[in-house]
């Protein structure tokens, strides 16, 4: 999870958590669509992509985000491979995600996240020629809502600024990813492996809780999100997942803020026709770092890195670091 906020006394806190039941990939967002490797991917809650927990009525906010991540996992013998043959699959994914947030009434955010995905899947090992597939297309779209059930605004004394605003908010979120991404891509008439597919082929409902506290020049946020998965048409179900994280932001200058935080993610193993799939699922603990720059009133650029520090994944698999860059428009 992370929380970013525009700097300056006139700016609103723009908070963001990770991920993700929404990711997901998938969901990604917090941002929920499927990411590099099945159930043990880095994802963020798309409801925390941009904007305040409690925006004004009629507010519309937009963001465009890029995301890159990678993973590797062992793949045992199956159709077309000799018994006992050990193979390794490598997945690299780049995503450009458009996020639209609309607040029909104060304290309610409606969110849509539309990802364009490029996924590269490679299979190596045991002296065989490497197999490589690159797919590009629309991923699993996320739709959701976030409701601020409690919000408190206070003016508190400050030795340097005389008085500053302290804002606290508690919000609930819920939504789902849609099976819009292609999950039946084929080569030479044969369907590609599940983790080579752009989409999961199933639904990904999620629910989460967010607490935000901001007091210039600091902002703090903590969140937790759970995402379920439904089977696709081929009997494959990505593992259910839980994400929790915290983030601390500090304004260095009027238009520049930096942040650090931590994420923890756990995912159950994937299932195929009710049987667990080896080398899927597990636990990841990551450190996060971010920087936000105000480009103009209401326009903000942001970069973020998520680096796995502790991994206890099932079987033989490993997740790489994830990197994000975004530009958001949030008119006051």
Q: What is the mean pLDDT of the chain?
A: 80
- Bridging pattern class, strands 299-313 and 322-329: antiparallel
Q: How far is CA 243 from CA 68, 177, 230, 300, in A?
A: 19, 16, 18, 26
Structural domain contains residue 169 = yes
Structural domain contains residue 166 = yes
Structural domain contains residue 32 = no
Q: What are phi and psi of 175, to 5 degrees?
A: 175, -160
Cross-strand pairs, 176: 143, 205
Q: How far apart are alpha carbons 17 and 9 in whole angstroms?
A: 22
What value, to the nearest 5°, has the Cα angle with vertex 282 and ends 177 and 227? 20
pLDDT in tens, 295-319: 999 899 999 999 999 999 999 888 8
Structural domain contains residue 13 = no
pLDDT in tens, 120-142: 999 887 666 788 999 999 999 99
Structural domain contains residue 3 = no
Whether 115 contacts 135, CB under 8 Å: no
DSSP 3-state assignment of 99? strand
Structural domain contains residue 269 = yes
Structural domain contains residue 48 = yes
For the segment 87-99, the average pLDDT, to the nearest whole number, is: 90
pLDDT in tens, 219-239: 999 999 999 999 999 999 999
Q: How far apart are alpha carbons 203 and 179 in whole angstroms?
A: 6
Structural domain contains residue 95 = yes
Domain region containing 205: 38-329
pLDDT at 106: 87
> The domain spanning residue 79 has which CATH number?
2.40.128
pLDDT band at 285 (very low <50, low <70, confident <90, very high): very high
pLDDT band at 330 (very low <50, low <70, confident <90, very high): confident
For the segment 247-259, the average pLDDT, to the nearest whole number, is: 93
Q: Provide the number of structural domains found in the chain.
A: 1
Q: What pTM was estimated for this model as a whole? A: 0.82
């Amino acid at each position: 999870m992370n929380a970013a906020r525009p700097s300056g006394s006139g700016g609103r806190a723009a908070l963001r958590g990770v991920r993700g039941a929404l990711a997901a990939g998938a969901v990604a967002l917090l941002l929920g669509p499927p990411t590099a490797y099945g159930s043990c991917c880095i994802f963020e809650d798309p409801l925390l992509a941009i904007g305040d927990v409690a925006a004004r009525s009629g507010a519309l906010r937009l963001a465009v985000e890029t995301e890159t991540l990678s993973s590797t996992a062992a793949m045992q013998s199956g159709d077309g491979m000799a018994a006992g043959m050990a193979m390794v699959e490598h997945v690299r994914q780049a995503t450009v995600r458009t996020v639209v947030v609309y607040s029909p009434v104060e304290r309610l955010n409606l969110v849509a996240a539309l990802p364009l995905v490029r996924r590269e899947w490679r299979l190596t090992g045991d002296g065989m020629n490497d197999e490589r597939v690159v797919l590009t297309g629309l991923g699993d779209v996320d739709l959701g809502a976030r409701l601020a059930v409690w919000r408190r605004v206070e003016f508190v004394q400050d030795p340097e600024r005389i008085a500053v605003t302290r804002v606290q908010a508690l919000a609930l979120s819920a939504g789902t990813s849609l099976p819009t991404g292609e999950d039946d891509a084929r080569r030479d008439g044969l369907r590609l492996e599940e983790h080579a597919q752009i989409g999961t082929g199933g639904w990904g409902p999620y629910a989460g809780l967010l607490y935000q506290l901001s007091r210039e020049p600091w902002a703090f946020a903590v969140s937790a999100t759970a995402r379920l998965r439904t089977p696709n048409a081929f009997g494959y179900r990505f593992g259910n997942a839980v994400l929790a994280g915290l983030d601390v932001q500090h304004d260095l200058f009027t238009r520049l803020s930096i942040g650090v935080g931590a994420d923890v993610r756990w995912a159950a193993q994937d299932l195929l026709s009710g049987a667990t799939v080896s080398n899927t699922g597990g636990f990841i603990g990551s450190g996060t770092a971010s920087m936000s720059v105000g480009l103009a009133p209401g326009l903000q650029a942001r970069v973020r890195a998520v680096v796995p520090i502790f991994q206890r994944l099932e079987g033989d698999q490993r997740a790489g670091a994830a990197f994000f860059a975004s530009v958001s428009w949030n008119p006051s």
